[in-house]
Structure formats: structure tokens, C-alpha cells
Chain A
Amino acid sequence: MKIINKILILSFAAILFSSCLKDLDTLPLNTTDFTSENAYANEENYLKALSYINGYYMLVGQDDPGNNDLGFSDSGQSEFLRQWFNLNEMTCDGLKCVWGDSYLTELQHDSWGTGSNDALVAVYTRAVKAIALANEFLLQTTDSKLDARGQSGIKGEIAGYRAEARFHRAMFFYVLMDEFGNPPFPMPENIGGENPSRITRADLFKWLETELLDLGSDNSAMPAKGAVPYPRPTKGSVWALLSRMYLNAEVYTGTARWQDAKDAAQKVIEMGYTLAPKYSDMFRQDNTENGSAEKEFIFAIAYDRVSTQSWGGTSTFASASLSEDANLKLGAEFGLPKINGENWAGYHVPDDYVARFDLNGVVWGSKTNVFGYDRATSDKRAFFTNYGSTKEFDGNKVSTGWMCWKFCGLDSKDKLAQQDGVPGNWKLSSADMPVFRLAEMYLNYAEADARLNGGTVKDSKALEYVKELRNRAGVPMPTTIRLEWLLDERAREFMWEGHRRVDLIRFGKFTDVNYPWTLKGGILNGKIAIPSYRTIFPIIQSDLSSNSNLIQNEGY
């Protein structure tokens, strides 16, 4: 009996304890989950991975525009493009906001600290993460990896993808160099490895120049214009970025590169881009369908209210400015109920910026003239209304200064582009956002020429380029074109396209006490110098704490 018991107990124990310690090696169960080993088994997945990198300028995550991967409670505000826009416009004269969000107030008062300003966190974090995504893509797409996966046949196609990934990496590095000066420098070997090292602004410029010249060279795998569908980057994008970099080279490295800026711009111009015939078409909901984007945009960020959704980007730029009243009144002007799905009544433009436009018959307080000026005879790049507002700016009031509807819910036929396809999506925008467009190459070319010629444009081609832009805007061409005028022309041509900060810094106006604007430095009349250390932003606190290779920028 006892022996039987012992045998029973032993076998009982043996059965139990042998039951699978192997259970612990469980792997993800979902069909949407992969490990890096099997993620690329399907060849289409290379394009899907590249899609995420390419879209990371506007994507806040993978699943839902209301759910972001940065842990921001408002996903729209975690978007890279929206905050990049705020950093470059709200710190300057073309954009103020009355919502009272402290991070926006810090930007428009030029008083940001080293704490966690949300715009800085979003731009910095997303730029570095995008670089890491590109690095991982480059690690996973080497020839040897393709061979190992038995996919040697697609090496040619993948080479182009790799070049695109490198372009995006360069683009995000450019943003880091421009905004943060001396950022971390993650390379593929840093993934799962050592902390990324720090790179100085001048060294990053050097690295970027080498990288972009390689991508832009004739025998590089980077697709030429037209070789990949819009809005993917091409060699045009590479040279457009080089042109912008060279134009600001003196700011970044201390050495001016005007001739290189001019040559790079010329190289892009010669690739066959043309100006969109109608300026407003470029910012309308159908800017892809109406053809203007493909004509003029060299590199753009796509939005689609059905399939490429975001609560940031052009959805924000369209919704953020108008008040309810102005929205309804503008709508009536077009024979529509309104022109935007939503009216957030926050983004305002002080009069000192708007005054740069040729506006005829400006009136304030009119109940009949919705725009506050005579649109038909004014600069066609002006999309303003002062309906219900006062001229004197008051940051604590909503009804102050101008509202801007350059971005709006209308399409190129002045119809409300809403409710097509998905009911309810009309709050979101389908307008793509240009990063580089031909007009910039024209004005880069002209400015570089003026810089090379003592401050006045001499090159006849440059004059022709400027004239094309003036004609499109329906405004006369000045007799001489000087540098200061070009700065103003850029303010008109590129209003709310994220150029303003870098332009003001390049012209030395950002810090200059003699170049005031409303609320500059937090002073209403803006007559104040901004310390030069504020021409770059601080490295964000959390990364400084986690990565000991980083050093805070001087002055912060």
C-alpha cells in the first residue's frame, strides 16, 4: 500500500512538473505583429515601412489620429508638422495665438525655457525618432539581409527605397540642425547600442552636405523627378534642401555659400517644375487633384480626410484662426454656410505683418465688408479677414488683429469640400502641405544673386523668376529688387509655410531691436532685442537627462 502511494505521488509530481517550462517562450499571437526577422518576409512590407518614415512628418501614430505615440493628451498637438510650424511662425511676426496655452505663449513671447515646451518636445522627439526609424530601415535592407531573405531580385527597387529613407533622415537632421543646433546624432549602430553622440551644428552641416551631394549625384539611386509618385521625395527634393541649407550656411557654419545656394536652386528649377497658375489652388482641399501640387511642390506632406488623417497640419491651419462669426460671414460671401468645418478662433496675425501685403481699401469695424479690404484689387496671396476685430492688438482678446484663411475648407472651385466619402470627416483636411516649392527656388536664386551683387538682384533670370511670382499674385514688379524687399516678398509668398524664423535669422532681424513686431520678446510694441542664444532652441530636458553625451546649448 505504501509503495503504491509513493509511486502514485511520484508519478503525479512528474506529470505536473514536466508540464512545459517551454510555455514561457511565448511569442506574439497577432497576425499584425512581427519580429524583425519575419517583418520583411512579404516584399510589400518594405514599402509599408517606408510609408511610416515618409509619413512621420504628419502621422502621430499608426492607428488613429486621436491616439499618438508620444503620450500627448491632444494628438493633434503632438504632430511634427504642426509644432514645427509653431516654432517657425509663432516665434516671429506672422502668427500669434490667443488660446493661452503656456507653450504657445512662451513661443510668441520668445521666452521658452528648458522645461518641457510641448512644441519643442514634439519636434525634437519626432525628428530623432524618425531618424531612428530610417536607421532601422537601412539596417534591415542591406544587400546581405536581402540575400539572406532570398529577396536578391528586388535589390534594385530597394536601393531606391534606401535612398528615400536617407533623404528623410537628412531632412529630419536638417530640422534638428536648424532648430536645435547641436543635437544627438543617431546612426544605425546606436539602435539597441550605445547612446547617440552629440554633433555640433557645423559638423552636422558638413555631414548633411556630403550625404545630400551623394544622394543628389547623377548615379545615385535616389529617384529622379517623376520616377516615383507624388508626394515622395526625389532628386529635386535633395537639391531643394541643399539650396535652403546653402542659403543659410552662414548662420549654420559662419561661412556663406551664396553661389552654391544659387546653383542648387537653378538645378532644381531646371528639373521641369512649373508654377501653379493660381496661387490659392496650392492651399485648397483639392491641391493634389487640381494639379497645382504636382506642378509646383518639390516635396510635400500629404493629408487626406479619409485615409491620411491628422488633427494637426493643414486641419489645424484651416480651423485655428476664424471665429464662428467670421466663418459664417465668409461662407455667405462664397454662397456657402461656412468655409471651414470648425472655428477655433485662436490664430491671429497682427497688422504689422499684414501691412506688408498690397491691400486696397482697408477698413476696420465694417459690418458689410467681410474681408476688411478690397480683395479683387489686392495681392492674391492675401487671405485675411478683420471681421469683428480691432486693429490694436490685445493678446487677451479674441477679436483682435487679422484672421487668416490661406488654408481653409474650400476646394479650387470655391466649394466646400466636405462629406465626400466618409460622413463626418469634414472637420479634417485633405490639403497637402508644401515643404519645398518652386517659388522658394526662385526666391533663393534671387536672394543669392543679390547677396553676390552687393544687395541688389542683377541676374536677369532672377528678375524673370520674381516677375513670374508677382504676376501670379497680381501685383506690380518693383523697378529694383533689394535684399530687404526680398525678405518682405518671402513674408508674402510663404506666409504660414514655416519659413519666417529662418529668414529673419538669416537677415539678422530676429534678434534686432530695430526690427520690432507685435509681442516680440513679450512686449506689445516689440521694441526689444532678443538675445542671440535664442536663435536656436534648447535641447529638451528629458533627452538631456537620459543621454549623457548631450550638452545643453549655450545660454540655456
Chain B
Amino acid sequence: MNRFLSFIVGLIGLFLIIPDMSAQNGYEIRGTVTDKTGQPVIGATVLEKGTTNGLSTDIDGNYTLKVSSADAVVEVSCIGYKTVTFVAKTNPAKVVIEEDTMYLDDVVVIGYGSVKKSDMTGSVTAINAEEVNRGAVTSPSSMLLGKVSGLNITPANGQPGASSTIRIRGAASLTASNDPLIVIDGVPVTKDGGAGMGDPLATVNPNDIESYSVLKDASATAIYGSRASNGVIIITTKKGSGKGIHVSYSGSVSAKQNRDVIKMMNSDQFFNYIQEHRPEAVGLLGVDGTMYDTDWQKQIYRIGINTDHNISLYSGGVVPFRVSMGYNLDQATIKVGDNQRGNIDVSLSPKFFDDHLSINLNAKGVYQHTNWANNPVESALSFDPTKPIYFTDADGNIDKSVISNGYWNWISAGVPNTMAAANPLSSVYDYVNYGHTYRGVGNLQIDYKVHGLEALRANLNLGMDIAKTNGTKYNEIGSRGSLTSAPDLYEKYQNFNKNMLLEAYLDYNETWGKHNFNAMAGYSWQHNYIKYENSQYYNNDRATEYHIAPVNAKEYYLISFFGRLNYNYDSRYLFTFTARGDASSRFSPSNRWGFFPAAAFAWNIANEEFLKENRTVSALKFRLGWGRTGQQDIGDDYYPYIARYYESASVTMQYPMGADGKSYNLLSPLAYNPNIKWETTETYNVGLDFGFLNDRITGTVEAYYRNTFDLLNNISIPLGSNFGKQVISNIGSMVNKGIELSANFVPVETKDWNWKIGGNITFQDVKITKLTNSDETYLGVETGPSMGANVGFSSLHRKGFAPYTYYMYQQLYDAEGKPVQNAFVDRNGDGKINADDRYMTGCSATPWAYYGISTQVRYKNWDFGINGHGSIGAELVNKVALGYSSSYSDNWTKGYIDNLCAKWLLPGWHAPNSENQKYSDLWIEDATFFKIDDINLGYTFNMKNNLKLRLAGSVQNVFTFTKYSGLDPEINNIDGVDNYVYPRPRLYTLRLNITF
């Protein structure tokens, strides 16, 4: 580490040798730069034209600059404003700079280039990563939460390092990946980044992010072809900028606390209940007649701390650079479970030969260490509250000599009762599971404007994404886990991912009068390689090999050619055509190439003569788009089309075929599908962008229709014609349609006051329109988890329904409307209740609408913001409620007893829940909710000498409005079965930013 540090210091030192602009004797100018509302503009550049003599305005917009002479031309510029020039001797006291409408519609980063917002034809939402209006941000995805219409983010559960689920315009696929493509500074990153990095966005430190572009429709995404069916999120990180060297520090500290727990019976309640309703089991309560009162949830949870420190150095000098370092510690609210992340980000962006050659070098390194408890959430609910935490000796001290390292556990005949749950604290403290990941993402982009033919640009991008994870898992010796594991193992694993990219394109721009052309053509080569290694040893000595798995490695290649043609006439009529040909090594040579075209048209109505001078309508654009994108990310099998044999190396699954019982490993042909091909999504998009009253009101209305065909899914094969039960096939089609509305409104904008309101809502509808089997009686594809402990499925993919539509029995109710236990409607009327009586409930976890809303108020140096998001119409299956619905339990015959939860016990339910009862529609609950994600308040201190200091406080995950009876109506399971979620805590954060 030391060597690494000195390298960084050296690197920084290198850039410190930047020509120092010593003050010259000459004419001094001074003044204030303000915008048209009179608000001082901080950080505007005041520059003597043609020289490098300049500075930035201070916090009050003031500047004092010595220029060479009274006749020198002074230029005042600031990003987002029109540049103003004046002659030094005319030095106005107040320079008013106007917002640049060209800049108002910022340049938006799109695939292989960027485009002015006003010239955009596709559905792209750009978000700048603002400092204000946010609390502790540990994942880049949380900055997008609720901010973009059509983008639905389900935040990760409360486990540090857990991943959030990101969906752009819903899921387009059943089995293949539904994750959008994430492109960081031109490098598409892999999803599987290693332990604690499930979220591909977690590769980048949120503090380093400059902007996001969310590409939603096919006309925008088709340039990424094969990987873009689920939309694209492009992240651009910060680059060196400004004069001189700047230092920026931001730090935060948060306390995390669970917002809510499920209230279980306490010791007294439980004792009384058992005594009254199940007297046979009273003998199991307490220890030798003593009733303890242990709140197991209280025992496993704590207040977690999250601290985050980031420091960056940047400059826009001769070699613009930015170096940043960050450290984040995120503690779980469960007593064991921390995520520590250190990262470094270096960016160099020099230009040579009169700016003809630009080089962009980005390198990001992340080190992450994560440890996990053996998830005790479920056992903390169910564990008997009349039990003590520890076995104690006669003196009341913890007796570690007793089985399971002193933690009280159910014992049967001298060994832990394997049927019973583990003491939750055994799961927390007596289990060791940690992993560390090193990941590096970097790219070198060389952009060359051809000398003598400046309209032509050649761009070469070389990128890579490498991650390595080492992990260790074992039970502490003597622990319950160790005693009950068969066999008890000490496991070490190593994952290695390497993703290489080579892309090159040529870009040509030409303008003839009002005709503007831009053509781009390129080539892309990608290689993805994954390797897993796993070694298991007996835990008792941690040296004797149990099973050393052979190295498991796989790879795939993607090769593509792509091109785009933009034409616009007078910035009024805009056309875009793109095409991409992709080949994936995952498909057989005959199905290998996919062709993905797209076309879009936009009419920039605001630029028409009749609206040009209109003061009410400041922007108005109509957009139409069509395109096709593909999907080849079809799961873990990289060779699905090849007829393969697999020889296992397992030492537990052999068969005795030899003399004296000698056992052999197993060799078997594997299921394969020689005909597997691209899944294709066709999207139609129509949109209207508007801005009124000088863009005080802006917004977009869009409608989309997406049809995914040759849908990839695992389906049952005609048995006997292949070697599996199911094989991945192109089976049908699915339609996603929706309407998106988003609007931003600035009701107040004065010198002291600024108030913004933003909101967006997406209405969606998803239906499977075809499954391969034309038989109308075809049940569909069985999916969704089992509701019992054993086999079973909770939902179906069936024609005419949303994916994962719950397939249940219809609960029977008595005259008073109370559900009758184990009684269901005989829907087919054959006098029997069996699997044929299950029905399509029409309910699924897919909401019909989701929305986000935010507001921000600024008064002088104060800022205040609230953000929230919600969803309407999603329905969840509350499996936790099912678990506590009946007071019946036969566990006592197996030597233990579990706690109960009064809120979910149903009157009259005193029998065991039948397996059918577990698949009842009774458990489906409306999960409509609205969440206040954060409330924040900040103050910016006025400091001299370009020093900027901001202090902010926030509360995150503030409140949830819902009727859902479970812990949280928002779950990450696509199948909608709520099963003991790791609670999302509330965060209280204090945050400090210093820039100078």
C-alpha cells in the first residue's frame, strides 16, 4: 500500500509542475459577475483573451484581475452561460451573464458520441450528479432513484454491498438478463463483479460521477445492439477542470437504524399461549422451569455506522487531471456484516497538436472487503423467547464447554437438533464468511481530428474491467453450524473476471448551409472471461482436502460493426438512422449474427419561425422512434448450442461400479439447444418534449411499445429427445407498453429564493403474448419459488398474463368473511381439490405505475430538499405472514418449539397448514406504497479565497406509506414472494464538503 501511495503522490507531483501565471504589472480590473436575477455567479472564469491570465470569481461573484493593458480584451465565461467580452478600460462594475440556451440543452452523452439535447431524436434522460439534495450516497444507483421516468430502481435490501434492481421500461425478458447495460466512461462493465459488488454500478464511487445518461428507446440504444434490450445507463466521471489546482473533500457520517421490526410474542405472551393452546409442549419452554425473556431481534440488530470520505485533486491545466481517493465503511444493522471500500480514480485528459489529438485516460481501482453473518433474520423471528442467549454454569457465567460454543441451542441426544433453527446469535457470531475484491476498470480513448480534414474524427477506445475476489467461509469449531453440517467444511473460493474491449470508430461531420450531416461507423470487439476456483477442506484441521473443484472457466466473444447517420435540416427536422451487426460466440455459426437497425425522427417545433419569438413556449419537440435490439446474455451457460459432455469431480456423487466397491465419477451428456438464437426486442417510441415560460416549466410525455420476440426461456423439452428436463429455447413473445410523464417546475426564482419541483410517473403494462406451444390448454412455464419447504412453484409465465403471475388456490371464506383454513374453491367442480384447481390470479409483482417526486428550496445559503418515490398496483405474496398464520405446529414432536406472531395468527386456524394452503391467494397483498426517500437540509458558508464549504444533514428512508402488512412493500425478488427480507434501515447523515 505504501508503495502505491508514494506512486500517487509522485503522480500528483508531476502535475504540479504547471506553468504558474505570475501576476503582471498592468491594468487592474475588478467587479462582480451576476446572472440576470442578480444572483452572484460563483466560479465564472475571467480571462484576458488570448492569454492564460485569468481567475475564477469568488463566492460573491467578485473578481480582481491584473491585465496587461487597459486595451486588453477580457472574457467572462461560465459553463451554461453565454460568454461576455469587454475591453478592460470599460470595466463594468457588474457583468451580467445570460444563460446560454445552447447550454441549457446540455450536451448529452450518447453511445459513441454526444449530442446537443435539442438535436436529440431518441428517448434519453440526462441527470447531473448534483451535490445538493442528497444524503449519504453509497451506491450510484441511489442517486437515480425516482428521478427518471421509465427507470424503476428497487433499492438493495439492508445488507451492505447488496445490489439494487434496475429496470428500464420493465423487464423485456423472462430468463435472459433484464439488467440494463452500464457503460462507465466508454467501458461496458460486467454485472458479476465479485463479492459485495452485485450491482455493476458499485464499481464507481458516486462522488466521482459527473453525469448519467439513461437511454431508453431503441433508437437511442440500438447503437449498442446486442446488449441494449434493457436500456443503457452511461456514466461519465468527473474530469480535470478549472484553473490552478483544486482540492475537494467530501465526507459524511451516518447512523443506520432499522425502521421497523415484526412484533413477535414476548416470553409471557408465548408462555400463556402455549399453556392454553398446546399444553403438550409446555415442557419445552424455558430452561428447567425458568422462563427467560429474550427479544432475539433486539439481540441481532444494532445501530450501524456508515462513514464516507473522499478527497480529490483536479486541475484543468495543460494536462487536465483529476485524482480522487475515497473510503467508505458501511456497517450492517445486523451485528456482523460490514462493507469497506477504498477506491482511487485517476483521469487524465490532455490534448495535443492544436487540440487535434485528445487523449482520455481513466483508471479506477476499487478494493472492497465484505463480511456476512449467516442470515439470522428468519430465526430471530421464530426463536423461542423463553430461552436464554447462553448456556450458563452454576455461577451464571457463560458455559462455553456446553455444545455449540455456549450459545443456547436445541439439543437432542447430545447433539444439536438439526430440525430446529439455530440460535440467531450463533448464526451471527459463530459463522465466518468474508470476501475481498479487487477491481480495476480503465480505458484509454484516443480521439484524433484528422489534420487537413477536421470534419473527420477517428476514435480508438481500449478498455478493460478486471475483478478478482477471494473469499473464505467456515463455521467456528464447536459451533452449532459446525456440528450440524454434513460435512463441516472450510471453504476458500476465488473468482476472476476479465472483460476486454476494443472499439474504434470514424466520425464525420459536414454542414452545407442548413443541412447538417453526421456519419459514424465503427467496430467493436469484446472478450469476457470468468474463472471460478473452489477448494474445500475439512473444518476440523482446515488442511485435509475434501474437494478441490477443477478450475471452472468460460468465455464469450462479441464482435460488432455499427454505424449511425444523423441528418438535420436547420435544427428543425432531425433524422437518425443506426444499424449494428452483432455476433456472439454463444450461438452456433448459423445463428450467430444479429442485425439491429433503428430509425428516429424529431421535429423541433420550437425552432420554427412561428414559435421562435414566442415567450410562452420555450421548447417544443416531437419525436418518433423505432428500433430493434438483441439479447444474448442468457444465463450461466456460455456454450448453450454445443453438444457437450460433463465429467463431475464430486467425491460425494459417485457410483460403485468397480471391484471392491470402487466408485467412479459420473460422465453425462448435457442438455443443449443447437437452434438457440438472439432474443430480439422491437421498440416503438413517441415523445413530446416541452418547455414553457423560459423553461420554468419543462417536461416530456412519452409512450412506448416494446415487443420482445424469440423470447429466451427454459422450457420443458419433449423428454427423450435431449438430456435435460428443460432447455433454454426461443419460445414466444412478450409486450411491454407504457406512458411516461415527467415534468420540472420552478415556481419561484429570485435572488434569494429558488424553488424547484420535479416529478415523473410511468404507467406500464406487461403481457406474455405467445408461448411456443400453441395448445390453448398449455399451463405455461412453471416459475416462482416454492411456498413450502419443498418442491413447488408459485407462479406461471402464461400467455395473456404478466410474467410471474401468481398461480394459486382460491381461498374459501365463511359467512363472516373469515378465511377457512385448508379449504378452497373447487374451481373445476370435480369434487376434488387438487393441483387442477389452481388458477391464474392475475396478480403479479409488476406495478401498473411507479413514480418519483422531488422538491428543492433554496433560500440564500440554505437549501432544503425532499425526495420520494412510490409504486401502484404491485402485489406481493407474503410468505412471512403464511409462516405465522396458524397456531398449529408439530415441531414439539421433533423436540423444539417456535415463537408466534399475534398479528398474523388467523382465528380458528388450529390445524397444520396443508401444502395447498401455502399456495392460497390469501397471501397475496397489495403492495402499493409511497416512500419518502430522504429529507435534507444544507448550508453553504461564504468564504474568501475560493474556499467553499457546505454542511448538510439528511434523513434517508424516512417513511413508507402502505397497507402492506409485511416489513417492506418493496422487495428485490422479481417473483414477488416476500420471504424474510433483510430490513432496509433509516439513515441519519451529516455531510461536509470543502472545495478550494
Contacts and interface: CB of A to CB of B under 8 A. Distances in A.
Contacts of A61: 653
A32 B645 CA distance: 8
Nearest to A418: B415
20 contacts: A21-B559, A31-B550, A31-B551, A32-B550, A35-B643, A36-B643, A36-B669, A45-B647, A52-B655, A62-B653, A102-B919, A105-B915, A116-B779, A133-B723, A185-B720, A196-B719, A309-B652, A328-B412, A522-B832, A542-B782
Interface stretch (B47-55, B171-179, B293-301, B660-668): B660-668
B788 A101 contact: yes
B6 interface: no
Nearest to A114: B836
B578 to A, nearest CB: 19
A476 interface: no
Interface of A: 1-2, 5, 9, 12-13, 16-17, 19-21, 23-36, 39, 44-45, 47-52, 54-55, 59, 61-65, 69-74, 77-78, 98-106, 111-118, 124-125, 128-129, 131-133, 135-136, 184-186, 190-196, 229, 231-232, 288, 302, 304, 306-309, 323-325, 327-328, 331, 337-338, 341-345, 388, 396, 398-399, 422-428, 522, 541-543, 545-547
B778 interface: yes
A427 B418 contact: yes
B645 A21 contact: no
B504 A12 contact: yes
B335 interface: no
Given A30-B551, A47-B664, A113-B836, A25 B486 contact: no
A123 B538 CA distance: 35
A345 B652 contact: no
B894 A343 contact: yes
Nearest to A39: B645
A542 B506 CA distance: 52
B838 interface: yes
Contacts of B546: 422
Given A101-B788, A324-B417, A308 B487 contact: no
A192 B722 contact: yes
Contacts of A78: 791
Given A24-B584, A78-B791, A29 B555 contact: yes
A186 B718 CA distance: 10
B525 to A, nearest CB: 6
A32 B646 contact: yes
A103 B793 CA distance: 12
Contacts of A424: 483-488
Contacts of A306: 651-652
Interface centre among B458, B584, B792 (most CB of A within 10 A): B792
A2 B486 contact: no
A2 to B, nearest CB: 5
Contacts of A522: 832
Contacts of B9: none
B502 interface: yes
B interface majority secondary structure: loop
Nearest to B524: A16
A65 to B, nearest CB: 6
Contacts of B786: 73-74
Given A12-B504, A328-B413, A542-B716, A423 B666 contact: no
A2 B639 contact: no
Interface stretch (B445-453, B602-610, B762-770): B445-453
The 6 closest A-B pairs by CB, nearest first: A186-B720, A115-B835, A324-B895, A337-B413, A55-B655, A102-B915
Contact of A324 (B584, B642, B668, B894): B894
A546 B916 contact: no
A416 to B, nearest CB: 10
B642 A30 contact: no
Contacts of B838: 115
B832 A113 contact: yes
Contact of B661 (A70, A184, A229): A229
B396 interface: no
Interface stretch (B15-23, B153-161, B906-914): B906-914
A26 B557 contact: yes
B506 A229 contact: no
Contacts of B725: 69-71, 125, 129
A34 B664 CA distance: 17
Given A62-B646, A424-B488, 10 more contacts: A16-B523, A29-B554, A51-B666, A74-B789, A106-B834, A125-B719, A125-B725, A337-B413, A545-B775, A547-B719
B648 A132 contact: no
A118 B748 CA distance: 65
B660 A229 contact: yes
Interface centre among A24, A184, A541 (most CB of B within 10 A): A24
Nearest to B917: A100
Nearest to A311: B486
B455 interface: no
Nearest to B715: A546
A32 B648 contact: yes
Given A190-B721, A191-B721, A308-B663, A34 B540 contact: no
A396 to B, nearest CB: 5
Nearest to A24: B585
A37 B737 CA distance: 47
A63 B415 CA distance: 28
B397 interface: no
Contact of B656 (A23, A186, A193, A231): A231
Contacts of B658: 47, 229
A542 B780 CA distance: 9
A52 B655 CA distance: 7
A27 B589 CA distance: 13
B191 interface: no
Nearest to A140: B669
Given A25-B589, A328-B413, A422-B487, A111 B834 contact: yes
Contact of B653 (A19, A59, A101): A59
Contacts of A325: 893, 895
B654 A136 contact: no
B717 interface: yes
A136 B915 CA distance: 38
Contacts of A62: 646, 648, 650, 653, 666, 668
Interface in B267-301: none
Contacts of B660: 229
A195 B791 contact: no
Given A103-B791, A345-B894, A129 B724 contact: yes
Contacts of A51: 654-655, 657, 663-667
Given A9-B458, A132-B721, A229-B657, A541 B779 contact: yes
Nearest to B660: A229
Interface string B622-654: 000000000000000011001111111111111
Contacts of A105: 914-916
A48 B718 CA distance: 26
B650 A77 contact: no
A74 B669 CA distance: 23
B527 interface: yes
B653 A309 contact: yes
B674 interface: yes
Given A100-B913, A423-B488, A345 B667 contact: no
Contacts of B585: 23-26
Given A102-B919, A112-B834, A27 B484 contact: no
Interface in B789-833: 789-793, 832-833
Contacts of A116: 779, 782, 793, 835
A69 to B, nearest CB: 7
B656 A73 contact: no
A55 B666 CA distance: 9
B554 A30 contact: yes
B552 interface: yes
Nearest to B719: A128
B655 A115 contact: no
Interface string B659-702: 11101111111000010000000000000000000000000000
